[in-house]
Amino acid sequence: MAQVAVVILTTGNRPDELRRAVESALAQRDVGVTVVVVANGVRASSLQLDDRRGIELVESATNVGIPGGRNLGAEHAACELIAFLDDDAHFVDAGVLARTADRFGAEPRLGAVALRLVDEHGRTARRHVPRLGGSSAERSGPVAGFLGGACVLRAAAFRDAGRYAGEFRYAMEETDLSLRLVDRGWQIQYDGTPAVFHPATAPSRHADSAFTTMRNRVWLAHRNLPVPLAVLYVADWFTVTTARQPRSLPTLVRALLRGWSTRPGPRRPIRWRSAWRLTRLGRPPVI
């Protein structure tokens, strides 16, 4: 029987949703499940989770951000597969992890499975489909990325790719990791079967989303892309974002300059054959 650790990151502000997320993980059938709840900048005792088997509480004295918190949870996940689940999400049925584990068992080079999100209306937002254009949410197949709050990763692949970049705090950390997974020869699959409920949200709910996302795109390009692709990637997204949000131009300029002046390492550009592989998957690394 496959062993899966479900890592749930929380700041304690959604207690009811957190409990439902935990319950949906513990209810999974035909797999061994350990739930690792990371209290990110809050006391674990404040979460008021039932003291029961199958739950491990991990406490971080300070909020280390989303990728940092997920890394912390993964450090306590002694399983061959690691599922990451948002604290306001839950599995829609008790067979999600068993179905996903079967896929990993059948495909030795499968590094990550992107799980399909559905909202309260049964819809999947275009931005939640890891495919250019966000079309055909029902269609499973190979993709170039995944969503961090609804995915399952092979622990060996996660370690091989270097885990999440904690400096990102939030935004683009999954893309950063996906590029390195692909470059290391791991496959990413999208499962079009509804698997995870998540309420409808917009990226703009974060007040600094425009700044953080643009800054992190610069960091991502520096860390992962050959120079010509890095320049095209940043220029492309700067132009697209400015066109979509004209009033954010000053913010985007500040973000670009901040990203360049503070770019974190290590810089390990993907190989050109990996860039071609990403292009064949429908996601050339300039868009």
User: Does residue 190 contact residue 146 with C-beta atoms inside 8 Å?
Assistant: yes
Domain formed by 3-201, architecture: Alpha-Beta Complex (3.90)
Arithmetic mean of pLDDT, 123-137: 89
Query: In the predicted model, is pLDDT for residue 52 greater than 90?
Result: no
Query: CA–CA separation, 212 vs 194, rounded Å?
Result: 30
Query: What pLDDT, on the 0 to 100 scale, is given for residue 112?
Result: 98
Query: What pLDDT, on the 0 to 100 scale, is given for residue 207?
Result: 62
Question: Poorest-confidence range of 113-122, 124-133, 217-226, 237-246?
Answer: 124-133
Query: What pLDDT, on the 0 to 100 scale, is given for residue 192?
Result: 97
pLDDT band, residue 147 (cuts 50/70/90): very high
- Nearest residue to 196 via CA among 56, 8, 3, 2: 8
Helix, strand, coil percent content, the chain, rounded in steps of 5: 45, 20, 35
Query: CA–CA separation, 243 vs 235, rounded Å?
Result: 12
Question: Poorest-confidence range of 55-69, 94-108, 124-138, 211-225?
Answer: 124-138
Helix, coil or strand: residue 176: helix
Amino acid letter, residue 233: Y
Arithmetic mean of pLDDT, 28-34: 98
Query: What pLDDT, on the 0 to 100 scale, is given for residue 204?
Result: 59
Expressed in angstroms, the distance from the first to the final Cα of the chain is 40
Query: CA–CA separation, 93 vs 24, rounded Å?
Result: 8
Instruction: Give per-residue burial for 209-246: e unless 16+ CB within 10 Å, then b.
Output: bbbbbbbbbbbbbbbbbeeebbebbbeebbeebeeeee
pLDDT band, residue 133 (cuts 50/70/90): confident
Query: What pLDDT, on the 0 to 100 scale, is given for residue 205?
Result: 58
Query: In the predicted model, is pLDDT for residue 48 greater than 90?
Result: no
Helical (H) or strand (E) element with 83: strand 81-86
Q: pTM value? A: 0.96
Query: In the predicted model, is pLDDT for residue 166 greater than 80?
Result: yes
Arithmetic mean of pLDDT, 221-232: 98
Angle, in degrees to the nearest 10, between helices 227-244 and 249-261: 160
Helical (H) or strand (E) element with 21: helix 15-26
Amino acid letter, residue 259: G
